[in-house]
């Protein structure tokens, strides 16, 4: 049940510091609100049409592409909670895994953040946390870790928008402390990772493409469990007075599993055997991807092949030193639970990860419905 204005005013007088979360109705925003509401007064900002955040926070509608809309939303915040804000956790951004260029990266992520910062100048904000990505870095090689001072080399619109937004924050933060959390690829026990869920899907369905990879199978990306992310965000807020005026911090697992290791683990968990995977030359793989794209809508797109060799390993010593943070989970150790959930409820797992179930799963669900 949504809280009344009087209830919110009373809560604002309770002595709890105020935290703002943008993108509050998303998967990450919802979990952050649940966690931080235990010791902070949390307010969620999100666009019209998104699901409401949990009852632990007030939800205020705003359109980040409109400074007028942001001012109206923050006017509500000032009226109920005052103008002192302990931390703003800025998650709102545009993201499209198709890899296609879009003006929304500039409009939502870059210009939207600038709009938001302009409005926040009317408040006393201690800290502004931005959810960036490890994909802004220049890819490395296995065994070579990336620290926060390593070269940036974003190679598609999504990480490019994050780099541009980081600069917007530096230029417009005013007296606010800024923390740029460069996050690895997120997952949890339900999966909720686009690349991993599709990798599991291909092997589960024994798709022909599951045995081929267009890059070096010893390379891989770095990942981050949802609970470890939440812990990092909580520590960043809690330690806001101790942190530098402006700092970037890598948040991810210290070990990067290779594509082949993940393939083998999934294959063993689902089918009881390691999964044979063959490296395919990029020109051949790209031609195949174009052909499949014509006759359907496969996950593997031609643009992905150009980045199949990219490898990321994070140096997280700064997070350990400044936040006293280190991950407790790993992707390889979590895969068994992911696969267990898939086997227990294939239809539910496919739905949870926004995937089209195979015919055998659809037929089984149809039989269940007819019997009930």
- Cα distance between residue 318 and residue 122, in whole Å: 32
Share the mean pLDDT of the chain: 90
The answer on 126 and 95 residing in a single domain is: yes
The answer on 124 and 107 residing in a single domain is: yes
Question: Can you give the pLDDT at residue 97?
Answer: 75
Residue 296 has pLDDT above 70, yes or no: no
Report the SS3 class of residue 146: strand
Question: Can you give the pLDDT at residue 291?
Answer: 45
Residue 151 has pLDDT above 70, yes or no: yes
Q: 328 in a domain, yes or no?
A: no
Question: Can you give the pLDDT at residue 175?
Answer: 95
End residue of a domain, out of 251, 270, 298: 251
Burial of 295 (0-12, 13-18, 19+ CB in 10 A): exposed
Stretch 158-164: mean pLDDT: 97
Count of other CB atoms within 10 angstroms of residue 261: 17
Question: Can you give the pLDDT at residue 194?
Answer: 94
Question: Can you give the pLDDT at residue 74?
Answer: 98
Q: 340 in a domain, yes or no?
A: yes
Question: Can you give the pLDDT at residue 366?
Answer: 86
Question: Can you give the pLDDT at residue 14?
Answer: 61
Q: 21 in a domain, yes or no?
A: yes
The answer on 237 and 180 residing in a single domain is: yes
Stretch 1-7: mean pLDDT: 48
Q: 261 in a domain, yes or no?
A: yes
User: What proportion of the chain, given as a percentage, has pLDDT over 70?
Assistant: 87
The answer on 53 and 117 residing in a single domain is: yes
CA distances to 66, 202, 229, 358, 370 from 351, in Å: 33, 16, 24, 12, 20
pLDDT tier for residue 76 given thresholds of 50, 70 and 90: very high
Residue 299 has pLDDT above 60, yes or no: no
The answer on 262 and 145 residing in a single domain is: no
pLDDT tier for residue 157 given thresholds of 50, 70 and 90: very high
The answer on 266 and 367 residing in a single domain is: yes
Residue 2 has pLDDT above 70, yes or no: no
Name the phi and psi angles at 314, rounded to 5: -100, 135
- Cα distance between residue 334 and residue 260, in whole Å: 16
Secondary structure E strands in the chain: 18-22, 41-46, 58-61, 84-90, 124-133, 177-183, 185-187, 212-213, 223-225, 246-251, 278-279
The answer on 134 and 206 residing in a single domain is: no
**Least confident segment among 18-27, 50-59, 85-94, 299-308:** 299-308
CATH, residue 90: 3.40.50.720
The answer on 354 and 245 residing in a single domain is: no
End residue of a domain, out of 207, 233, 251: 251
Q: 84 in a domain, yes or no?
A: yes
Residue 256 has pLDDT above 70, yes or no: yes
Q: 80 in a domain, yes or no?
A: yes
Question: Can you give the pLDDT at residue 31?
Answer: 95
- Cα distance between residue 114 and residue 328, in whole Å: 35
User: What proportion of the chain, given as a percentage, has pLDDT over 90?
Assistant: 78
Q: 320 in a domain, yes or no?
A: no
The answer on 245 and 364 residing in a single domain is: no
Q: 16 in a domain, yes or no?
A: yes
The answer on 162 and 270 residing in a single domain is: no
What the block records as the tokens of 183 is 């996050």
- Cα distance between residue 89 and residue 210, in whole Å: 38
Residue 35 has pLDDT above 60, yes or no: yes
Residue 3 has pLDDT above 80, yes or no: no
Name the phi and psi angles at 270, rounded to 5: -90, -50
DSSP alpha helix (H) spans, 205-316: 226-238, 259-271, 282-294, 302-305
Beta pairing, strands 185-187 & 278-279: unpaired
Tens of pLDDT, residues 304-338:
556 788 999 999 999 999 999 999 999 999 999 99
Tens of pLDDT, residues 270-289:
999 999 999 877 555 545 55
Stretch 134-142: mean pLDDT: 97
Tens of pLDDT, residues 191-215:
999 999 999 999 999 999 899 898 8
The answer on 233 and 306 residing in a single domain is: no
End-to-end C-alpha distance for the chain, whole angstroms? 33
Segments forming the whole domain that contains residue 354 = 194-218+256-312+333-371
Question: Bridge-partner residues for 223, per DSSP?
Answer: 185
277: left (phi over 0), alpha (psi -120 to 50) or beta: beta
Residue 290 has pLDDT above 90, yes or no: no
Tens of pLDDT, residues 204-253:
999 998 998 988 999 999 999 999 999 999 999 999 999 999 999 999 99
Q: For residue 15, what is the DSSP state?
A: S
Residue 294 has pLDDT above 50, yes or no: no
Long-range CB contacts (within 8 A, 24+) of 158-163: 158/95, 158/96, 158/105, 158/133, 159/133, 159/135, 160/105, 161/93, 161/94, 161/105, 161/106, 161/109, 161/110, 162/93, 162/109, 162/132, 162/133, 162/135, 162/136, 163/136
Residue 363 has pLDDT above 70, yes or no: yes
Number of folded domains that form the chain: 2
What the block records as the tokens of 157 is 């619109």
The answer on 204 and 232 residing in a single domain is: no
Stretch 96-112: mean pLDDT: 90
Question: Can you give the pLDDT at residue 49?
Answer: 61
């Amino acid at each position: 049940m949504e809280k009344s204005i009087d209830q919110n005013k009373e809560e604002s007088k309770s002595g709890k510091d105020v935290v703002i979360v943008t993108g509050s109705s998303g998967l990450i925003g919802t979990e952050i609100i649940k966690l931080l509401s235990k010791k902070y007064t949390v307010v969620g900002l999100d666009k019209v049409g998104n699901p409401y955040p949990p009852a632990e926070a007030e939800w205020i509608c705003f359109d980040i592409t409109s400074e007028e809309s942001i001012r109206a939303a923050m006017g509500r915040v000032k009226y109920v909670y005052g103008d002192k804000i302990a931390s703003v956790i800025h998650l709102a951004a545009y993201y499209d895994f198709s890899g296609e260029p879009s003006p929304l990266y500039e409009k939502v992520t870059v210009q939207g953040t600038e709009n938001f910062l302009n409005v926040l100048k009317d408040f006393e904000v201690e800290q502004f946390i931005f959810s960036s990505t490890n994909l802004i870095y220049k890819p490395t090689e296995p065994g070579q870790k990336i620290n926060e001072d390593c070269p940036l080399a974003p190679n598609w619109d999504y990480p490019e928008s994050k780099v541009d937004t980081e600069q917007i924050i530096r230029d417009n933060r005013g007296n606010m402390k800024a923390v740029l959390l460069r996050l690895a690829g997120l997952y949890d026990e339900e999966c909720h990772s686009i690349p991993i869920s599709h990798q599991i899907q291909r092997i589960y369905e024994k798709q022909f493409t599951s045995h081929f990879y267009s890059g070096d199978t010893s390379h891989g990306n770095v990942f981050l469990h949802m609970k470890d992310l939440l812990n990092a965000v909580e520590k960043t807020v809690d330690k806001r007075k101790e942190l530098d005026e402006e700092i970037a911090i890598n948040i991810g697992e210290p070990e990067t599993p290779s594509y082949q290791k993940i393939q083998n683990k999934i294959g063993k968990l689902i089918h009881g055997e390691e999964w044979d995977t063959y490296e395919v030359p990029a020109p051949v793989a790209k031609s195949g991807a174009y052909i499949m794209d014509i006759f359907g809508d496969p996950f593997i797109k031609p643009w992905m092949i150009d980045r199949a060799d990219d490898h990321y390993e994070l140096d997280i010593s700064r997070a350990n030193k400044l936040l006293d943070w280190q991950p407790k989970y790993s992707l390889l150790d979590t895969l068994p639970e992911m696969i267990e959930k898939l086997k227990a409820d294939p239809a539910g797992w496919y739905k949870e990860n926004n995937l089209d179930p195979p015919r055998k799963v659809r037929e089984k669900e149809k039989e269940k419905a007819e019997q009930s």
